Amino acid sequence: MTVDYGNPRLDDYKKLIRFEAELSGEIKLATIFGESSKVKELKLNKKLIAIRIRIIEASFILKHKNTKSTALQSDRFCAF
């Protein structure tokens, strides 16, 4: 999945969240069946997905922070 981290879409974020949940289920199943090599691979993949999710969350925060600060500045200019 290709994600534009500078301008992420909410759909991409949702897909990553769902994929992370799916990985959690696969990890549980692999643990139950005793597939240790698959568990290691899935846990590593889950960590990478979690990092991608955090990057998108930070991008959303920064994007809205910039929007909020420009809105506040324009309100100050209108008040005079």
Structural domain range at position 69? 10-79
Using the CB atoms, write b or e for 29-45: b if 16+ within 10 Å: ebeeeeeeeebeebeee
The encoded tokens of residue 23 equal 């990985």
Find, among 16, 70, 74, the residue nearest to 47 by Cα.
Answer: 16
Q: Is there a domain that residue 1 lies in?
A: no
* Assigned domain for 16 exists: yes
Give this prediction's pTM: 0.75
User: pLDDT tens digit string along 19-71?
Assistant: 999 999 999 999 999 999 999 999 999 999 999 999 999 988 888 776 666 66
Residue 3 lies in a domain: no
2 found inside a domain: no
- Please indicate, yes or no, if residue 14 is contained in any of the structural domains: yes
Q: How many domains does the chain have?
A: 1
For residues 77 and 16, which has the higher predicted lDDT (pLDDT)? 16
